[in-house]
Every structure is written in C-alpha cells, then in structure tokens.
C-alpha cells in the first residue's frame, strides 16, 4: 500500500508498532550464563584478565570486546527529519530506526546516543564515549554545527561520518554516474544546479566539484550553481562572509557569478539536484534546462517537483527520495556498507577514497542502467556487501586501516 503525504494511516500504524514493542531495539547476550563456570568466564573473576591485556594494548579491544562491530549513532536532536530542533528525547525513534537498518543490511551493531543539551561542548562529549565504539555515525545535526563537529572528530582514531552529508553525496554521485550513461552526457561536462545549501547540499557540492578532495581520486563536473532561499550563491553576494560554508561554496562554484533566482540558474543546466523544499520547481523551469535533463528532486516526502511533471516537461532521468517512484535516491544504499567496510578494515577514519569507492560500487551494481533504474533497490543486501568490500579495499590501499587478525 502506498501512503500519500496527507494520509494519517501510516502514522497511526507507526505509533501502534512502537507502543507494542516499546521501541525497535534490544540487546541480546552472545554467551550462556547458565552455570557458575559460565559466570566466572563472562564476568568475575575471569573478565579481569581481559581487562589486564586491554590495559596493556588498547587495540586488543577490537579482539576481545564489542568494539569491533559496534558504532554509535549520535545526535543532538537539532535537525531531525523535517521536524527541526525537537531535541534528544524526540530523536530516539529515528536513531533506533537507523540502528536496525545497520543491523539488517550490514550486520553492524549500532546504538542510539541522543544528547539533549546541545549547547554544551558536544565534541568533548562524543570523544568521551568513543572508547566502546568502532565508529561514530553523526545524525540529524543542524548546519553549520554538523560541519564543525565532524571536522573536530577526525583524529580520534575511529571513523566518524555525518551521514546526512556524505551518505547522501555518495548516493547522488552514484546516481549521476549512471544517469550519464542513460543520457549520453559526459560527467566532466555537466552543468549542475543544486537547490539547498545545508548539510546535504554542501556535501554534494564538495564531492561533485572535488572541493577539498584529492584530485587524483575525484573527477570534477564542469560547473555547479548552488541556490539557497536568497537565490544563487556567488562570491560577491552581500553578507556571504558571515557563513563560512556558504563562503566556501561562493569561492569554488558559480564561476560566471550568476546573480538571480533558482529559475534563472536552471536555464541551460544539465542536472537539477534538490535537497530543499516541496513544490518549488515548475515544469517551465525543467523545460528551460538542456535536452535530456537529469532531475533529482529529493525533498521528502514531497519533492521539489513530482516525477510525472518533470518527465512531462522534458526530463529524461528523474529520481526522488521516495520509495514509491523509480530511482529512489536514499542514503541507506551507502551508510551500512561504508561503516561495514570501515569496521572490517579497522579504519581510523573515512577518507575521500573510501567514499568515492562506495559511490562507484553502488553505480557498478547496475551494469545496464535505464532511465527508470539508475540505482539498485535499497532492499538488496548484496549492495551493502559490494560497498563494504570496495570501502575496505580503499581503506587498506590508502593506509588508514589497522592490522587485521
């Protein structure tokens, strides 16, 4: 059954599901505790020896504890879904949902860590919980704080990734690679308009334009123009210096310095990527794009333009964030495999090489893309396996993995 955005039925069913199970997540023991011998080995006195060897070499935590297969899903509740700053308590159901996705698709044990007082030193709090985890997935943290937190956590010895940024960017890159095969457009010649300059928009822009990426592993598109609620972003725009991240966009994109609206920016574009708001793109705007246009309208649940309208206006390949239309662009294609590969490599961080390897693994999983199938199904667990293998290989190749027993 497909539920329309205005339907209350799915919300009622979700409330009933969560009430019935008291959430979606629980902990199971891996060992038996039926005898005194069981207890002595799993807890005191036997566990003291495990503590002693880890105290001598903390890397042995990967061998003797849950660290090797466990990540924290960390949020401050400041940007949850489209609900905004609803706080740590209200964020729990979403983080639980992310945890079961990790388990279902990648066999990764993940646990929600939801902070309520988001004005405290968030970075130090995360550092202090890091010892038990093999990686940290930052989730639903508002921009620009999400950029600052992720940057500050890159040297703590385990991979840290803000999925709303990089998971989304990886899947967009994969979708774009295959859309080019369908349309016959050359990736390096693409002129792209991105609507939305928050976490996802910033990360997509950086990846597609190779801003901060090693040029030996990253291929640039020709041009990107990014739009926010004030119109196009360009270097000379008044007040741009007040936002460090939009200033970076202004410095690195929109070389013609086009000033104007989203509608102005889309004239002659090859690709539209929306991570913004519902129903802000018209058929006339799609019609003003180049022939065989590629449209990724990813606002959820209501996209920037509905697929049928985009196709009617001339778009050749259309994707959304929804599961009830072809070409669902969803970061569940990326994050389980990225973290699975990072854990398998015992990586110290998630690098450019690992993210780009993930994108190519997703794209290559569809050997003969069509206009209505540029990405694999998000329910196909073999995608995760392919992504994990590619990410592990890239981690080892770039020298950010530990020795694996």
Q: Which is the catalytic residue, given 11, 12, 24, 43?
A: 43
CB burial string 245-257: b at 16+ within 10 A, e below = bbebbbebbbeee
CA atoms within 13 A on the CB side of 312: 8
Angle, helices 381-397 vs 87-106, to 10°: value is 90
To the query of whether residue 98 is one of the catalytic residues in this protein, the response is: yes
Distance between CA atoms of 80 and 87, rounded to whole angstroms? 8
Q: Backbone phi, then psi, for 126, in 5-degree steps? A: -70, -40
To the query of whether residue 43 is one of the catalytic residues in this protein, the response is: yes
Nearest alpha-carbon partner for 154 in 371, 405, 349? 349
Sign (positive/negative) of CA torsion 241, 247, 251, 257?
Answer: negative
Q: Which is the catalytic residue, given 98, 246, 355, 393?
A: 98
Nearest alpha-carbon partner for 93 in 81, 106, 104, 108? 81
Q: What is the set of active-site residues?
A: 43, 98
């Amino acid at each position: 059954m497909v539920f329309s955005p205005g339907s209350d039925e799915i919300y009622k069913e979700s409330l009933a599901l969560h009430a019935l199970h008291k959430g979606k997540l629980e902990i199971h023991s891996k060992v038996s505790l039926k005898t005194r011998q069981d207890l002595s080995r799993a807890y005191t006195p036997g566990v003291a020896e495990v503590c002693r060897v880890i105290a001598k070499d903390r890397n042995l935590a990967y061998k003797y504890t849950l660290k090797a297969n466990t990540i924290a899903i960390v949020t401050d509740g400041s940007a949850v879904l489209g609900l905004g700053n609803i706080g740590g308590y209200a964020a729990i159901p979403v983080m639980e949902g992310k945890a079961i996705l990790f388990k279902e698709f990648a066999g990764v044990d993940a646990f929600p860590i939801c902070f309520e007082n988001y004005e405290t030193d968030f970075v130090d709090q995360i550092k202090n919980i890091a010892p038990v985890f093999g990686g940290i997935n930052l989730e639903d943290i508002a921009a620009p704080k999400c950029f600052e937190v992720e940057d500050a956590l890159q040297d703590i010895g385990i991979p840290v990734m803000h999925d709303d940024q990089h998971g989304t960017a990886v899947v967009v890159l994969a979708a774009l690679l295959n859309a080019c095969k369908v349309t016959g457009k050359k990736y390096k010649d693409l002129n792209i308009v991105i609507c939305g300059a928050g976490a996802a928009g910033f990360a997509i822009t950086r990846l597609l334009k190779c801003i901060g990426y090693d040029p030996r592993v990253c291929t640039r598109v020709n041009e990107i123009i990014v739009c926010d609620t004030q119109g196009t972003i360009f270097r000379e725009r008044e007040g741009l210096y007040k936002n460090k991240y939009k200033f970076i966009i202004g410095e690195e994109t929109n070389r013609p310095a086009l000033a104007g609206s989203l509608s102005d920016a889309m004239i002659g574009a090859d690709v539209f990527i929306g991570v913004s708001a519902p129903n802000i793109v018209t058929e006339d705007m799609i019609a003003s794009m180049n022939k065989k246009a590629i449209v990724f309208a990813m606002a959820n649940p209501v996209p920037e333009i509905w697929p049928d309208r985009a196709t009617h206006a001339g778009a050749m390949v259309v994707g959304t964030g929804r599961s009830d239309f072809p070409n669902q662009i969803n970061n569940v294609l990326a994050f389980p495999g990225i973290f699975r590969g990072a854990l398998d490599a015992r990586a110290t961080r998630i690098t450019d090489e690992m993210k780009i390897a993930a994108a190519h693994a997703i794209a290559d999983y569809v050997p003969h893309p069509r206009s209505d199938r540029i990405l694999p199904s998000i329910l196909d667990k073999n995608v995760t396996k392919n992504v994990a293998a590619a990410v592990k290989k890239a981690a080892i190749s770039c020298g950010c993995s530990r020795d694996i027993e």
